[in-house]
Structure 1
Amino acid sequence: MPLRPGTARFLVLAGVFVCAACGLVYELELVAMASYLMGDSVTQASVVLSVMVFAMGLGSLAAKRLRRRAAAAFGAVEAALALVGGCSAMALYAVFAWTGAWGGVWRDGPSLVLVAVSLAMGLLIGVEVPLLMELIQRIRRQDPGGAVADLFAADYVGALVGGLAFPFLLLPRFGQLTGALLTGAVNAAVGAALVLGLFGRDLGRRARRTLLIANVLVLALLGTAAVLADDFERAAGRALYGGDVRVAVRTGAQDVVITGGGPGGRPPGLYLDGTLRVDGRDERRYHEALVHPAMNGPRERVLVLGGGDGLAVREVLRHPGVREVHVVDADPRLVGLARTDPVLAALNGHAYDDPRVRVTADDAFRRLRVERGGPYDVVIADLPDPGDTASAKLYSREFYGLARRVMAPGGRLAVHAGPVAGRPRAYWTVEATLRAAGLRAVPYRVTGAGEREWGLFLASPGPRVPPLSPAARGPGSRTVKEGSLRAAARAAERTRVPGLPASTLAHPRY
């Protein structure tokens, strides 16, 4: 050893600490990127963690064959892990942006790319610990139990630091792409320094030169990718959203992108976390079908849950007799864009300039728990699809029970429940959940441009199903007709899946 055994042993444990921190950052990065792009964070986290743990076991077995050349093998593994882990977020984003699909293993399931990257990273991480055990024993022999305890202590503390650094430092300060690249650079530098500095004498001259060149190339590649990360993100954004992106901001709650809307250009579009939420070609079909049937009756006080874009509010304000509209949306910056962005404000008819509209920036579930401003004649739940893990609680029996509590006798609740044909079980689970909360609901569906469709419910706490007919409205409204609503109800009814249980907070069914 070029250093005293105690110092060398401390440096090896410090290397274990850094490698463990980097490994956990890679895992969290994969989960975050997959959840952001594909939704359903529970599925993505389960796939990444289970595949990586399985692959780590395989890697540990493979390490048996590498123990005789532990120093060289460890240096090569760290260089490969730094490259794969550092570039993993960029690779996943590129696949999503330029192919538009993930190649799911099953419908709505994980991506083959995600499984492959998780498998590769798990194999490399699994090789690390056995090789580090061999290296630390070469410095100074000790009983295996003590060596394992020291090694795992450094490993677990490193995992703690990496797990905290990802959400509180790397993600907010550097973003997903640059954060992963920076982690890879640290991983490569520490691995190379540990092997070449402490165990260089175990390597031949050719092996030292090869390892040094490999790590320099890895660091150069990661550094170049970090420099080009902004250009890459813009190019990926053009592939995702087209070349007419007007607004692209990270609000803290979500990524908001507004496209189109210029003179002679394509219709405006609103993307939230990479998913098209509003398309100027067909948004009126959806919002009119969602709002107008619910407004058939008393409508002085209206509560809109979600709908920060202001488009549901626009339809509510078309009806005479509305005195107050209370909007609850978790993203105040989206509401600010809906108020100030010229394209989005024109699309929603400058709804937020109406003095009858007031806005509360809060989670819809939390707001309903403390709401004391009821009762409301109409509640509009303009929320993301129930298949999204983050919104599953907004389609639970508890949520609908809270909504029923703030409704006036005879009030109506309009619910967006995701696609009917694409996910009939999730759609009809919403109906079962409404029923479990004491609400009677009538189903219907509306189609948009291309293959887009929306499943809807109109519910009421009364003993009978509310009538599905449009309310009288003010001038300028192009509402759906009563005949088309009846046809929409029959179309939805043909997809019914009977016998589904209700979804609850403790047992989400979506």
Structure 2
Amino acid sequence: MGLFSQNRKRNSFVLYLAVLLTGSCGLAYEYTVSKIASDLLGDSTRQWAMIIGVMMFFMGLGANYQKALPRQVLFASFVLLEMLLSLLGGLSPLLLLWAYAYWQSHYILWQYLLIAAIGFLIGLEIPIIVRINGSFTPQLKVNIGRTLQMDYIGALGGAVLWSYWLIPYLPLSRSAAILGFANMAVTWLFMAYFYRQLSRYKWLPALGIAVSIVLLWAFIRGPEWSLHSEQGLYRDPIVLSKTTPYQHLVLTRSSRQRSAYFPRQGEEPESEYRLYINGHLQFSSRDEFIYHENLVHPAFALFRRRSGREPTRVLILGGGDGLALREVRKYPSVTEAILCDLDPEMLRLAAEDPTLRHLNRDALHGQNVRRLPAGPDIADTEPSTFFSPTYLAGWNGTRGSNRRELQSAPGIILKSMDAVRYIEEAPGFFDVIIADFPDPNSEMLSKLYSLPFYHRVRQKLRSGGVFVQQSTSPVYAYKAFWAIGRTMMAAGLEAMPYHDLVPSFGQWGWWLAAPRQSDGEIPEIPLLRQYQTSTLSPDIQMRYLSNEVMQTNSVFTPVFRTMYQDSLALAFPEKSGAKVTPHHSGTQKSDRKPDFGEFYRNWVTTYTQSKVYQYYLESGWQ
């Protein structure tokens, strides 16, 4: 009796171990498919919610279907479902990428068929294990309680494994293959321990070997096969494909020579390079200078107009490709430039990849460049001779000045850190802050266009300081574009928009902002007037931008300005609360009384109310 009881306990232990491992794999499969769908389709919140929801629905169907399985086939059924789950889950990134690349019109159908199949198989696991374990643990409350306990513990383990080991260090194809191997480990353990119950199914080991070989092929050749499928998503050949813990980077090169837009005299056509992040175009080498000159130089010109001097301390948030830093380094007055990008791999590629180095003119190289770990403290870094006495003297007695800090800071600092965290902790104040973030096409990115973020930016600007942010398209995502400006104004900034045609993107927009000095006047007026009397530095070479172009870019047609005028009337009413006179552009006076509740409820982005993201989705601009 004692030996029989011991065997029963050992049998139950093996089953609980199987549940622990399958629970880890099941949750990780959900995460893997959700991430693939988010990378391909965007709108990460909706993708994760729908995929996990649909998968759990089919898990319920699977749990109910198990009652149709006769007791005598439970052992073989568990082995077969684990093999099939290993194949579908382990190959899921490859299958979805292939479907998106070569059958894009039916991709959603294939995606949800795969999700349904994986969910159905996961739903079968626990009920079958409970039924098998009923022979070894007759007490139902103990059987179900321990089985579910091991499943939930496994789910936590799968979440930790997926988040901290698989995704940060391995491509998705290999991460999924490892999960498939884990499922197969359960299968082999089950077949080895319960071989007597499976003795009639002599073909199962051969099938298990075949599945293991397929998963091994997926692990070894998966990245290469992924690249082959991924190529179907891009017009030009892929020369670099890199998945980091934060994003997926793809660099393509045209197969034929193309002239740049506005070519220099005598400039020869060359290959066009395009950088994509998570499938979204970040720049084209044919016209990126239009975008980056508009991003940097108007802010420098406005700062010179407001403060009467050249900027010396500049912060670039995002812009890990180094192209904005290239423009900043044209100014000899800049004695400290900090480039803060979330992804250290993006900074590494910008500093080491020959193509990116050619495009950014080695902006991330030089004896005065320092690459620092996450954290704002720069007081203990190696002293630099990059600072001029004029610069140091200019900081004495000014807002946030710290002579010791500045004397010990390097000329250019590269930091891998979240922009929101850095702007909270960065020492000192800045003349110009440049935000070169991806478009707010997810709720995670929308925090970089939010009220709390702009509050912190305002606190970090010196007197006369200027903030500029790329702000998506005023045509294709016009509601998001104007919402960005409204949020800046709600944070106590004067704000004004400008736009230009970037051929690769279409009509594109930026917002300039500065700390508001008083509430007595609608704040667009002084900033716009200062901008219109600003001039570019004649000593700085530019490929595209001129004073005439810069002034023209600040002009918007009345159709574009309507929402902006309404937001001004709500954000900055006269102190009496009576009628509001809008901007001097000739529009009619407004009889609308201020409604601050409407302003914050409908037009301002916060951490919990991502209006800019909502408007981005409404525009259909993906």
Match of residue 287, structure 1, among 274, 284, 292: 292
> 2:264 — aligned with what?
none
Q: Residue 303 of structure 1 aligns to which amino acid in structure 2? A: L
Q: Which digits, 9 at most, give the CA deviation of each residue in 1:394-432, with x for residues without a partner?
A: 111111011111112333221112233333333333223
Task: Report if the CA contact (8 A) 2:432-2:466 is conserved.
Answer: yes
Number of aligned residue pairs: give it.
498
> 2:420 — aligned with what?
365
Task: Give the drift of 1:113.
Answer: 4.1
> 1:7 — aligned with what?
10
Q: How far apart, CA to CA, are the structure 2 residues paired with 1:140 and 1:287? A: 68
2:571 counterpart of 1:507: no
Q: How far apart, CA to CA, are the structure 2 residues paired with 1:199 and 1:342? A: 57
Q: Residue 62 of structure 1 aligns to which amino acid in structure 2? A: Y
Q: How far apart, CA to CA, are the structure 2 residues paired with 1:187 and 1:327? A: 44
Task: Report if the CA contact (8 A) 1:436-1:502 is conserved.
Answer: yes
Match of residue 328, structure 2, among 316, 319, 331: 316
Task: Give the drift of 1:118.
Answer: 2.4
Moved more, 76-85 or 191-200: 191-200
Q: Which digits, 9 at most, give the CA deviation of each residue in 1:266-320, with x for residues without a partner?
A: 2122233443211112212222222232223324133221112222233334567
Task: Report if the CA contact (8 A) 1:444-1:493 is conserved.
Answer: no
The alpha-carbon distance between structure 1 residues 85 and 252, as it changes in their structure 2 partners (threshold 3 A), is closer
Q: Which digits, 9 at most, give the CA deviation of each residue in 1:195-239, with x for residues without a partner?
A: 5742754x683xx14544443332232222223213213323544
Q: Residue 446 of structure 1 aligns to which amino acid in structure 2? A: D
> 1:122 — aligned with what?
119
The alpha-carbon distance between structure 1 residues 397 and 193, as it changes in their structure 2 partners (threshold 3 A), is same
2:541 counterpart of 1:475: yes
Q: Residue 281 of structure 1 aligns to which amino acid in structure 2? A: R
Q: How far apart, CA to CA, are the structure 2 residues paired with 1:102 and 1:492? A: 37
Task: Report if the CA contact (8 A) 1:100-1:240 is conserved.
Answer: no
Task: Report if the CA contact (8 A) 2:239-2:251 is conserved.
Answer: yes
Q: How far apart, CA to CA, are the structure 1 residues paired with 2:187 and 2:349? A: 46
Match of residue 411, structure 1, among 465, 478, 492: 465
Q: How far apart, CA to CA, are the structure 2 residues paired with 1:482 and 1:174? A: 45
Task: Give the drift of 1:99.
Answer: 5.5
> 2:433 — aligned with what?
379
Q: What TM-score results when the alignment is normalised by the length of structure 1?
A: 0.86
Moved more, 209-218 or 23-32: 209-218
Task: Give the drift of 1:321.
Answer: 5.2
> 1:304 — aligned with what?
316
Q: Residue 306 of structure 1 aligns to which amino acid in structure 2? A: G
> 2:80 — aligned with what?
76
The alpha-carbon distance between structure 1 residues 77 and 411, as it changes in their structure 2 partners (threshold 3 A), is same
- What's the % identity of the aligned pairs? 30
Moved more, 479-488 or 489-498: 489-498
Say which one has the larger Rg: 2
Task: Report if the CA contact (8 A) 2:58-2:120 is conserved.
Answer: yes
Q: How far apart, CA to CA, are the structure 1 residues paired with 2:551 and 2:39? A: 40
Match of residue 61, structure 2, among 53, 58, 83: 58
Q: How far apart, CA to CA, are the structure 1 residues paired with 2:432 and 2:166? A: 43
2:552 counterpart of 1:484: yes
Task: Report if the CA contact (8 A) 2:236-2:254 is conserved.
Answer: no
Q: How far apart, CA to CA, are the structure 1 residues paired with 2:469 and 2:343? A: 20
Q: How far apart, CA to CA, are the structure 2 residues paired with 1:321 and 1:190? A: 64
Task: Report if the CA contact (8 A) 2:465-2:515 is conserved.
Answer: yes
Q: Residue 366 of structure 1 aligns to which amino acid in structure 2? A: R
Task: Give the drift of 1:126.
Answer: 0.9
Gaps of 5+ in 2: 258-269, 305-309, 369-385, 387-410, 568-598, 614-622
Q: Residue 382 of structure 1 aligns to which amino acid in structure 2? A: D
Task: Report if the CA contact (8 A) 1:443-1:492 is conserved.
Answer: no
Q: Residue 145 of structure 1 aligns to which amino acid in structure 2? A: K
List, as ranges, runs of 4+ consecutive aligned residues in structure 1 with deviation greater than 6 Å: 494-498
Q: Residue 209 of structure 2 aligns to which amino acid in structure 1? A: V
Q: Residue 236 of structure 1 aligns to which amino acid in structure 2? A: S
Q: Residue 507 of structure 1 aligns to which amino acid in structure 2? A: Q
Match of residue 396, structure 1, among 428, 431, 450: 450
Q: What TM-score results when the alignment is normalised by the length of structure 2?
A: 0.72
> 1:220 — aligned with what?
213
- Indicate the SS of the match to 1:351: coil
Task: Give the drift of 1:437.
Answer: 0.6
Task: Give the drift of 1:177.
Answer: 0.9
Q: How far apart, CA to CA, are the structure 1 residues paired with 2:116 and 2:8? A: 36
Q: How far apart, CA to CA, are the structure 2 residues paired with 1:344 and 1:196? A: 53
> 2:136 — aligned with what?
139
Q: How far apart, CA to CA, are the structure 2 residues paired with 1:91 and 1:291? A: 43
Task: Report if the CA contact (8 A) 2:66-2:128 is conserved.
Answer: yes
Task: Report if the CA contact (8 A) 1:446-1:488 is conserved.
Answer: no
Q: Residue 515 of structure 2 aligns to which amino acid in structure 1? A: P
Moved more, 438-447 or 486-495: 486-495
Task: Give the drift of 1:439.
Answer: 1.5
Task: Report if the CA contact (8 A) 2:137-2:143 is conserved.
Answer: no
Task: Report if the CA contact (8 A) 2:173-2:218 is conserved.
Answer: no
- Indicate the SS of the match to 2:496: strand
- For residues 96-115 of structure 1, the aligned pairs below 5 Å read 96-98=100-102, 111-115=108-112
Q: How far apart, CA to CA, are the structure 2 residues paired with 1:233 and 1:76? A: 27
Q: How far apart, CA to CA, are the structure 2 residues paired with 1:196 and 1:349? A: 61
Q: How far apart, CA to CA, are the structure 1 residues paired with 2:558 and 2:355? A: 36
Match of residue 21, structure 1, among 5, 20, 24: 24
> 2:508 — aligned with what?
454
2:173 counterpart of 1:177: yes
> 2:150 — aligned with what?
154
Task: Report if the CA contact (8 A) 1:24-1:163 is conserved.
Answer: yes
Gaps of 5+ in 1: 104-110
- Indicate the SS of the match to 1:386: coil
The alpha-carbon distance between structure 1 residues 198 and 350, as it changes in their structure 2 partners (threshold 3 A), is closer
Q: Residue 89 of structure 2 aligns to which amino acid in structure 1? A: G
Task: Report if the CA contact (8 A) 2:454-2:491 is conserved.
Answer: yes
> 1:108 — aligned with what?
none
Q: Residue 53 of structure 2 aligns to which amino acid in structure 1? A: S
Task: Report if the CA contact (8 A) 1:60-1:126 is conserved.
Answer: yes
Task: Report if the CA contact (8 A) 1:319-1:472 is conserved.
Answer: no
Task: Give the drift of 1:86.
Answer: 1.1
Task: Give the drift of 1:368.
Answer: 1.2
2:227 counterpart of 1:234: yes
> 1:440 — aligned with what?
494
Moved more, 485-494 or 364-373: 485-494
Task: Report if the CA contact (8 A) 2:93-2:176 is conserved.
Answer: yes
Higher-RCO chain (CA-CA 8 Å, sequence separation at least 6): 1
Task: Give the drift of 1:377.
Answer: 2.9
Q: How far apart, CA to CA, are the structure 2 residues paired with 1:422 and 1:476? A: 28
The alpha-carbon distance between structure 1 residues 495 and 236, as it changes in their structure 2 partners (threshold 3 A), is farther
Match of residue 493, structure 1, among 558, 561, 583: 561
Task: Give the drift of 1:148.
Answer: 0.7
